[in-house]
Structure 1
Amino acid sequence: METDCTTRNPLLLPAGTRLPHIGPHKTGTTSVQAALFAARDTMAARGVDFPARTRHSMEAALAACARPAMMGGTVATEGHWRRLVEQVQATGTRTSVVSSEFFADAEGHDTVARIVRELGGPGALAGETEPGTPGRLHVLVTLRPPAKILPSQWQQYVQNGLRMG
C-alpha cells in the first residue's frame, strides 16, 4: 500500500489517511493483522505506519465499543483506547493503519461516530473543520459468506464466554 501517489493512480490512498481494518471474526482478520505487523518496517518506509504496539489492538477496540474482555483476558479500559488514539494522532500526516475485528462489534450511532471521529474522521485533521468536508478515514473490511463463518463464530463466542442478545 503506497501513499502520496494519487496523481498517478486515484485508487491509492492519500497521505494522512486513517485506515481502520475491521471484519467480523473468522474473516481472515488474524492473518491480515499478522501480515501488517510483520511488514510494519517496510510499510513505514513507504509512508504507512502501523502505530499499535501489538498486531491486534484488541483491548483498545473492546474499550471503544464498550465490550467486555475475553474470558481470562485483560480488562479493556478507556486508557487502552486513549493510547491507541494518541498513537494514531502521533503519525501526523503519514497514513496509519489499525486493525481489530472487534471494531465490527461496535453498536449504535454514537459508538461508531466516536470511533470515526477519534481515529481521524471528518473534522479531525487540519483543514477539515467544515461540516460535510470529506475526512481522511477509510475503512477496510474483510468479509466471508455468513454461512461459512457463523458456526465458527458461535463456537468462538461460547468458548470465550461472550453473551449477546
Structure 2
Amino acid sequence: MAAKVILHIGQQKSGTTYLQEVLGHCADALAAETGVLFPPSLRDVLPDAVENHERATYGLLGTEYPWVSAERAAAEEDKWTRLAARAAEWPGTVLISAEALSVVRSAAVRRVVGEFAPAEIEIVITTRGLGRALPSLWQQHVRNGRRQEIGTFFETLAAQRDQGPESIELEHDQHHWRAFAIGGLVRRWAREVGADRVTVVVNPGSPPDRLWRLFTAAIGVAEFADRPPEQVLTRRTHSGLTMPETLVLVRLNRLLEEAGWDTYSARAARERLLLSGLLPRSGRGPRVGVPESARRLVEDWSRADVADLESTGARIVGDLDDLRFDAERDVHRPLTPDQVADAAAAAVLAMVDRSDFQPAPPRPRRRFGVRR
C-alpha cells in the first residue's frame, strides 16, 4: 500500500479540470522525479480524456452521488478496483483527483478514507470565490441541458442554505452546499484525518499556471512546478459561456424539451451549436456573473464562509482575499438586445446546413427541331 494518499476533492468550478489536464500530461515525469503517482483511469480506455478519478469513485460510492444510478455504479466498479490496486502497488505517494468527493456525506467520507488504510491520508481542496464559482456552475448546468433562469437558480440556493448546516450535512440532495460551504467541507474531512492534514488552495483566477504552482506547493512538490511544457500550463480547458449565450441556451433547452427531443439528440445539438456557432465568435458579450438580485446574498455567504474557513485550522495556500466577494468583478454587466440577438443568430447559423440552400443547377435547355 502507498505510504501516503493525497485526495484532491474539488470543489467544482475551482480549476480541477485544468489541474487534471496538466497532471495527465506529466504523470510519468511526476512519478519518476517526485515519487508521486497520478494513476491512469480514464485514459486506459479514452486516450484523449482529461484524466481524473471521478468515475472510479462512482464504482465505490454509487448512489451516494445524487446523479449516479445503481446501474451506472455497477458499470464503474472495475475502474475503482483497478485504481485501488494501483494505489496498493505503489510504494510512495498516490494522488487521487475527483472533484465529486466534495459533495459526499460523512459516512461516505469515512468509507473513502478507510479504503486507503493504513496509508497516511491528506486532503487537498481547491476553492474559488462564490461570486465567480456559483455563476459558472449555473452556466455549466445550462450547458448540460438545464433550463433554470439565473435568478431562480440563486433563489433555490438561498432556500437550501436557509435550511441550515444539519440539513446540508444529512440531506441527499443538498450536495451544492456540501461542496460550496467551504468551512463545512473542511470539517467533514478533518473529522476523519485531522485539520492539520487538510489543505485549501485558493484559485486566484489568473494566470492559469498560478493555480498549478499553488497546487504543487500544496502536495509537496513545488520543485516540479516548472516541469510541464508551457503550452500545457497556459492552456484553458473550459470555454465558459457568456451571459447572452447562456440565456439563448436556457430558451433552447426549454424548446427542445417541449418538442420531445431525447437527451442524446438534444446534447448533440447543443454541442454542434456551441462548437460551430457560439464559442468561435469574437465579441461574445459579458461573462456570466451574479445577478443584481442576488448580490447581497452572495456577499453575505462569502463573508460567512471565509470566516468559517479561517476558524477550521486547515492550512491555506494562496490569498484569502481572492475568496471575498468583489461586486466590481463578480456582478454581471448589463446586456443589450443586440448581444442576445447576435448569440441567437450565431446559434441558428451553426444549425443550418448550407448545402440545403444552394441554388439548384440550371436545367438543360430543351432543343426542338425546326420544321422545314
Give the TM-score taking structure 2 as reference length. 0.33
In structure 1, which of residues 43, 47, 63 is the aligned counterpart of residue 35 of structure 2?
47
1:110 match: 107
* Count of matched residue positions in the alignment of Structure 1 and Structure 2: 133
Q: 1:83 to 1:158 in 2, by over 3 A?
A: farther
Q: 1:160 to 1:75 in 2, by over 3 A?
A: farther
Q: Distance in 2 between matches of 1:114 and 1:84?
A: 15
Q: Distance in 2 between matches of 1:34 and 1:161?
A: 24
Q: Distance in 2 between matches of 1:38 and 1:19?
A: 19
Q: Distance in 1 between matches of 2:142 and 2:86?
A: 33
2:77 match: 78
Q: % of aligned pairs identical? A: 32
Q: 1:109 to 1:18 in 2, by over 3 A?
A: same
In structure 2, which of residues 107, 118, 139 is the aligned counterpart of residue 155 of structure 1?
139
8 Å CA contact 1:23, 1:29 repeated in 2: yes
Structure in which a larger fraction of residues adopt helix: 2
SS at match of 1:137: strand
1:29 match: 16
Q: Distance in 2 between matches of 1:20 and 1:27?
A: 15
8 Å CA contact 1:65, 1:105 repeated in 2: no
Q: Distance in 2 between matches of 1:58 and 1:64?
A: 10
1:88 match: 87
Q: Which has the larger radius of gyration?
A: 2
Q: Deviations over 1:17-76 (max 9, x none)?
A: 101111121100011111111111111112111113331112112333432359xxx934
Note if 1:139 corresponds to 2:123: yes
Which residue identity is paired with 1:114?
R
Q: 1:158 to 1:79 in 2, by over 3 A?
A: farther
Q: Deviations over 1:59-105 (max 9, x none)?
A: 112333432359xxx934333322222221121x2111111111112
Q: Distance in 2 between matches of 1:159 and 1:18?
A: 34
SS at match of 2:72: coil
Q: Distance in 1 between matches of 2:89 and 2:143?
A: 37
1:8 match: none
Relative CO higher for 1 or 2, CA cutoff 8 Å, sep ≥ 6? 1
Q: Distance in 2 between matches of 1:161 and 1:78?
A: 27
Which residue identity is paired with 1:154?
W
8 Å CA contact 1:43, 1:49 repeated in 2: yes
Q: Deviations over 1:91-132 (max 9, x none)?
A: 1x21111111111121x22111011111x2xxx23xxxxxxx
Any gaps of 5 or more consecutive residues in structure 2?
43-50, 147-172, 175-372
Q: Deviations over 1:116-151 (max 9, x none)?
A: 111x2xxx23xxxxxxxxx51101110001121112
- What displacement does 1:161 show? 6.0
Give the TM-score taking structure 1 as reference length. 0.69
1:16 match: 3
Q: Distance in 1 between matches of 2:140 and 2:59?
A: 20
Q: 1:157 to 1:142 in 2, by over 3 A?
A: same
Q: Distance in 1 between matches of 2:124 and 2:16?
A: 11
